[in-house]
Amino acid sequence: MQLDRATGWFSGVSHCPSPNCNARPDGEAISLLVIHNISLPPACFGTGKVQQFFQNRLDPDEHPYFATINQLTVSAHLFVERDGAVTQFVSLLERAWHAGVSRFGEREGCNDFSIGIELEGTDELPYTDAQYTALAQLTQQIRSAWPVIDLGRICGHSDIAPQRKTDPGPAFDWPRYRAELQRNEDKA
């Protein structure tokens, strides 16, 4: 996979454009990476329902949980499945609707200045080796394009919306992820 900095789209990944995005505010620089998790239905993997959800095509009658989220219009820039497959929904240059009401440091509205990556998973189930590998590769290219995103500007959804969100949860191995990023940088 390779990031085209001019368009904000990765090549070598699936593209599934979401309508749930818009332009970033004028002059707003990308300076934050937010890690999330999602699975639809909850704790079910490889269903294709995340893609439908981010495209507003989820059938609310298909599962009781879907009826509770069907009215939401959300998206992320990228989604990493359990096998490491990556789907991109929104150009990194645009604002995806992943963070909601949020704050990083003194700044509110993290969607304005962040990139959101969803991992297929739950707070409690371990993430896969393939997911850590893909996430580190994506992160390396994002950080190359936006060097201001140092390790201190990579956080979980729970860090920017602690009263509302818990993801990526205790199952996410932050030391492993950071070590993999360091290994990738050492190779570069």
Rounded distance between C-alpha atoms, residue 100 and residue 94, angstroms: 15
What pLDDT sits at residue 57? 96
Q: How many residues does the chain have?
A: 188
Please say whether the beta carbons of 79 and 86 come within 8 A.
Answer: yes
What pLDDT sits at residue 144? 96
Mode of pairing for the β-strands spanning 32-38 and 154-156 = parallel
Backbone φ and ψ of 155, nearest 5°? -145, 170
Please say whether the beta carbons of 139 and 92 come within 8 A.
Answer: no
Low-confidence ranges of the chain (pLDDT < 70): 188
Rounded distance between C-alpha atoms, residue 9 and residue 129, angstroms: 24
Rounded distance between C-alpha atoms, residue 14 and residue 83, angstroms: 14
Q: Which residues form the catalytic set? A: 118
The reported pTM is 0.97
What pLDDT sits at residue 188? 65
What pLDDT sits at residue 67? 96
H helices of the chain, in order, are: 49-54, 64-69, 129-145, 157-160, 174-187
What pLDDT sits at residue 89? 98
pLDDT tens-digit readout, 61-116 = 999 999 999 999 999 999 999 999 999 999 999 999 999 999 999 999 999 999 99
